[in-house]
Amino acid sequence: MTEKLIRGRLLSFRRAPQSLTDTESYSYESDGALLVADGKIAAAGDYATVKAKAADGVEEIDHRPYLILPGFIDTHMHFPQMQVIASYAANLLEWLNTYTFPEECRFVESEHAARIAAHFYDELLRHGTTTAAAYCSVHKSSADAYFAEALKRGMCMVGGKVMMDRNAPQGLLDTPEMGYDETRAVIADWHGKGRNHVAITPRFAITSTPGQMKAAQALAEEFPDLHIQTHLSENHEEIRYTCELYPEATDYTDIYARYGLLGKKTLLGHAIHLSDREADALSEAGSVAVHCPTSNLFLGSGLFPMKTLMRREKPVRVAVATDIGGGSSYSMLRTMDEAYKIQQLLGERLNPLESFYLMTRGNAEALSLVDQIGTLEPGTDADLVVLDAAPTPAMKLRMETIKTLPEELFLLQTMGDDRAVVETYVAGSAMKESI
């Protein structure tokens, strides 16, 4: 058994913080340590106690004075959009048609898909993200590249071959049968291999015919434990066009409900402009609305009413994500900075404890994977991020006046990026030096 002792300031959440003074919601050790054995956390707590549990001569890694948290989790990304990020467009549909769809056509080539997959995982790890849920392109070759690279790096990843059979260039279209067959093939090849999770991935209702939605429904019935990921109510023009395509549905959310696609493992990207009826439907289904703040601002899509959705009588489950490449940063820290600003514009407060909860345990709960990732609980996988709140001269100067943990977290969120990430561990292995 390979053991190592990782020392630093430990922070892990027990539940969602209710306020800045809700110290019961998290555990914090100012001189803490994790004992890692065979990729899992064997013990966590204060250094002296954990050290006493380790074998004599155990390898020790000292990260003091840095913070050690569970690795960040990103619940909505597009792996084939790395070379689309920072494309100048007026809105979602123009951005898709002008830049994104032509770029995704290139993923039919395995060599291109493999090259971009290597860069994709490098960027995740550079930014302290150890798990993500991502869309591949329509081509099985893109899913093969995505999952092969995750397996190589030992990462816990969710992903799926996109299903889309209309309203896109010919090179990006499958058919209901192809979408079904190839998703089944991706499941057979990759689901449960290493730490891979295959998701059923109809891109969104605009790019799937009713026939394809039925195929997605068949997959969801056949594989009820799989994640389902799609997009919902991102932009007003998109909503109008979607409802035209499905006139029998009450609203956009009802389209997915009619095809049995709303469940507890359903991740709905954006979900910005929901009616009360739609929010009730998501709440009752236990589906997750995934907030992508940098993307929503970049594409001018709207202000996600996160706090309103969370405190409804029928609350909606919420997660946070970058939405690369509609999003403008790979960093979950930058993402939460923009999430904070969106809530400010809505007259709401998002405190830094909540932000760090959302990036770790909150997103793990949203993915139904909290028994494996998102905390520093013994028995879970040792996916970690080590953070320095003073990596730049400006942050260092600001740190001089900071006295509390929430203040330090808020600085990290407001000014931090990949420079604040000292190290990223995947299943106990340090990954940053190799990228």
Q: Which residue is nearest to Zn ion (CB)?
A: 269
The Cα–Cα gap between 232 and 35 comes to 42
Closest approach, Cβ 131 to Zn ion, in A, equals 17
Q: How many residues bind Zn ion (CB under 5 A)?
A: 2
Q: Is the peptide bond before 65 cis (omega within 30 degrees of 0)?
A: yes
Question: Closer CB to Zn ion, residue 174 or residue 323?
Answer: 323
Nearest residue to 354 via CA among 96, 21, 6: 21
Nearest residue to 81 via CA among 110, 117, 109: 117
Closest approach, Cβ 358 to Zn ion, in A, equals 18
Q: Which residue has the tokens 């390898």?
A: 59
Choose the stretch contacting Zn ion; rule: CB under 5 A; options: 222-230, 265-273, 300-308, 334-342: 265-273
Residue 152: its H or E element: helix 140-153
Question: Closer CB to Zn ion, residue 321 or residue 412?
Answer: 321
Choose the stretch contacting Zn ion; rule: CB under 5 A; options: 171-179, 201-209, 262-270, 359-367: 262-270
Question: Closer CB to Zn ion, residue 4 or residue 127?
Answer: 127
Between CA 132 and CA 313, with CA 336 as vertex, the angle to 5 degrees is: 90
Position 356, amino acid: F
Question: Closer CB to Zn ion, residue 332 or residue 376?
Answer: 332
Binders of Zn ion among residues 301 to 330 (CB under 5 A) are 323
Nearest residue to 204 via CA among 142, 144, 255, 264: 255
Question: Closer CB to Zn ion, residue 301 or residue 343?
Answer: 301
Closest approach, Cβ 272 to Zn ion, in A, equals 12
Let me know: does 181 contact 209? Beta carbons within 8 Å.
no
Binding residue for Zn ion, selected from 80, 128, 269, 325, defined by CB under 5 A: 269
Closest approach, Cβ 229 to Zn ion, in A, equals 9
Does position 45 bind Zn ion by CB under 5 A?
A: no
Closest approach, Cβ 76 to Zn ion, in A, equals 6
Question: Closer CB to Zn ion, residue 269 or residue 391?
Answer: 269
- Count the neighbouring beta carbons within 10 Å of the beta carbon of residue 379: 10
The torsion angles phi and psi of 348, rounded to 5 degrees, stand at -115, 165
Question: Closer CB to Zn ion, residue 141 or residue 296?
Answer: 296
Q: Which two tokens stand for residue 353?
A: 């404890």
The Cα–Cα gap between 308 and 346 comes to 10
Q: Residue 81 gets which letter from DSSP?
A: G
Closest approach, Cβ 315 to Zn ion, in A, equals 23
> Helix, strand, coil: what percent of the chain each, to 5?
45, 25, 35
Closest approach, Cβ 252 to Zn ion, in A, equals 15
Return residues touching Zn ion (CB under 5 A).
269, 323
